Amino acid sequence: MNSEKLLDFDVIRERLAEVCSSRIAKELASELTPLTDPIAIKTALDETVEAVNSMQMEIEQPIGGTRDIREACSKSRKEIILTHDELWDIYTTLSAYKRMYSFFHSKYTSYPLLSLWIQDMPRHDGLERKFERVFDKKGNLMDSASPKLQHLRSTIVRTKDRIKSDIQAIIHDPDNQKYFQEALVTQRNNRYVIPVKQEYRYAFEGLIHDRSATGATLYIEPMRLVNLNNDLQEAMLAEEEEVRRIYKDLSLAVRKDSNTLMDACERVSHVEFVYGKAALAIAMKATPAIISGAREVKLMNARHPLIPANVVVPTTITLGTTYRILLITGSNTGGKTVAMKTLGLLSLMHQAGLHIPADTGSVLPIFNNIYADIGDEQSIEASLSTFSAHMTQVVRILKVAGAKDLVLLDELGSGTDPEEGSALAVALLEYFRKRGPLMMVSTHYNELKRYAYNTEGIENGHVEFDERTLRPTYRLHIGVAGSSHALSIAARLGVPREVIDYAKQHREGSDHRDMEEVLSDLNEQLRKNQAKERALKKELDEARRMRTQADREKKQLNERRKQILSKAQAEAQQLKQAIRVEGEQIIKELKSQFSETNKTKRQEAITQARKNISGVQVPELEQETRTPVNVNELRTGQTVFVTSLNAVGTVEAIQGKRIQVSVNGLSANVKVADLALASREEMNNLRRKQEAVQPKSRKRAGGSAVERQKHATTELNVIGQTVDEANQNVGHFIDQALMAGISPVRIVHGKGTGALRAGIHQYLKTLPHISRYEIAGYDEGGAGATLVYLK
């Protein structure tokens, strides 16, 4: 059965290949086939979800820059010396592999399935270093690739300079001016020559290498340049041999790593292929379907992916619940075939691990096979009529279709006598019904509509036709059969009115007239109900929008209230801390003023001062209701909220009803009752703090903490200063930061030659209160600035 071609799955492969970033990924796209293993399909869909998230959230993507190195690796195994281009492809590909490895190594938790392909991928750092010693960033073979190559290239440059100098002397010699056709230098047979007039061939001493098309000019190598040209040729031949030797060594290195290179190539190509699926999903505005374990189809607002977005009409298809066969009727060109193809193609895409253009929450089962008989399969060569061609296909499907298959039949029983065709179609549907596959069938026969109404497991559906505009709307409605509207369509296409009237009179005596009228009435009632439904839905959507807006405003108001209270609490806490520091300073001064005889009085004054400071009230935030933890479910490393400390921490140890928790770098033993579940936002904030690995700011007593922080700065610019001047300013700057309790701070020294940066780094090593220092990030100045973390 050629169902994939009938349903245009080959076109989906082509579009997928177009958006894949590498040649091998494009090949994987061209070979994509639907799967039947639920685990494999689920994994493929989830991988695509990760790649979509990456493309939508990450600034830089891990793919790109790889080349197809399979042939180069194969040639290296045969000890064939690789060309410059082949070696450069391997070098650039190694860089791309390294970049991808770094990306997924740092983001394993965000993209676990894709990371599995990369995390144990073989590394080739040694091979990459060999390439780095040979090629520059533009792919040129560097002079320093080997000492011999450097010497030969220096010799070539010096010899060329001597040749050019001698040639210029010959050209500008007044005695030689009459010999030259033009005062220029060119090359023939890789040797420098001068254009000489034909008539002076014997007057100008040298070797003839070529003549012009007219014969008026001879290209002569002056005799004084012969030896220099010979030296140049010898050096260039030696250079070629040395380059060949270097390429041979690199080829042997590639040969040693060829197996692991091929393994890495396969892994990376799979990831690139998944990113291609993600790019296709984004372009189609597609979502992953839910895998149904009960043979249920529920496509919501599904769109055929090959119909332009501004033309396609979304359709909702349900199947496999109360009925297994959906019989679609309605006008020609009304969308019956498109609806069937949409179900078939989206099922194939789903089982190939692709996202489908439908609303989130759409459900599809996994079919063992998808069979389709769609379109006119008339074969002149096989002497088959339309009816015979269709029946041949139906018979093939009939013999193999089972309960876990999907069958799509277009215009069942058409192409022959209507009475016999409808009777045969009913019999075929009954046979399929007993076999149990899920089916979508299109027809114009009223007998089939009646059969569907009266038979369990079969449901009628129709594509809508607007009687007022005499045009199809392409919307699929399930539950009611439709009319073919042949007379209405014929009138719209220009059939004379008298022909239409005659046809209507003839139809009056038809046995199916009553059913057509019933269908027409039902469809008109359906249209009115749908109009009412749309109006109600619009009102409901507006009510939901207003409620959402009200909830959002309420949430914003609460957040603003919390921010104000939090700010007030922080300012009050800071003020209280400042008062405590100031109080201790005053107490220290008081101690020196009181005499020994007034020791008791002095101690009472100190105690009272401290009590007054401790009594300063800090506004408390309203405590939100939190879910207490279950000690039986508590585990080491879990993030929890410590209510007694009003902070988020990490469980370090569980000792009965006492729990050891790390909060802001300090360990505390608390009761289980003091613990509550942390929110997702709090867990993320704690994780970001831990990843930053920033040491606590150092608090120092003495003086006004508020004033010290007010006058302290977090950045020092020493650009243009000498090392001694800069170090003096750096020392003073670090002291201020320590007094103010600020960390980290930034020293801007510029890039330049790097001498100023090196001098400052050497000085920082001698300071006792520095935890560590490092070059600033790209967005903070890069190599032109240093971040200093204080203890």
Residue ranges for the binding site for ATP? Answer: 330-337
Q: How far apart are CA 308 and CA 312, in angstroms?
A: 6
User: For 393-416, what is the HEC assignment?
Assistant: HHHHHHHHCCCCCEEEECCCCCCC
DSSP letter at 645 equals T
Single-letter code of the amino acid located at 212: S
Burial of 791 (0-12, 13-18, 19+ CB in 10 A): middle
Q: How far apart are CA 568 and CA 573, in angstroms?
A: 8
Q: How far apart are CA 690 and CA 685, in angstroms?
A: 9
Residue with tokens 């050096």: 235
Radius of gyration of the chain (CA): 42
Burial of 555 (0-12, 13-18, 19+ CB in 10 A): exposed
388: tokens are 């015979």
Cα 140 from chain centre? 32
* Cβ atoms < 10 Å from Cβ of 785: 21
Is the Cβ–Cβ distance between 667 and 661 less than 8 Å? yes
Nearest one of 28, 6, 43, 53 to 348, comparing CA atoms: 6
DSSP letter at 141 equals B
Q: How far apart are CA 777 and CA 44, in angstroms?
A: 36
Q: How far apart are CA 167 and CA 173, in angstroms?
A: 10
Determine which helix (DSSP H) or strand (DSSP E) holds 13, and give its type and residue range.
Answer: helix 9-19
Is the Cβ–Cβ distance between 189 and 219 less than 8 Å? no
Torsion of CA 648, 650, 655, 659, to 10 degrees: -10
Single-letter code of the amino acid located at 444: H
Please work out, in degrees rounded to the nearest 5, the angle formed at the alpha carbon of residue 177 by the alpha carbons of 171 and 179.
100
Residue 37: how many CA atoms within 13 Å on its side-chain side?
5
Residue with tokens 């009223």: 446
346: tokens are 């989206």
Nearest one of 71, 66, 64 to 91, comparing CA atoms: 66
Nearest one of 330, 365, 364 to 477, comparing CA atoms: 330
Is the Cβ–Cβ distance between 66 and 97 less than 8 Å? yes
Q: What residues form the annotated binding site?
A: 330-337
Q: How far apart are CA 450 and CA 453, in angstroms?
A: 5
- In three-state secondary structure terms, 487 is helix
Q: Which residues contact 743 (CB under 8 A, 6 or more apart)?
A: 694, 695, 696, 697, 698, 737, 771, 788, 789, 790
Is the Cβ–Cβ distance between 485 and 335 less than 8 Å? no
Q: How many residues in total does the chain contain?
A: 791
633: tokens are 């479910």
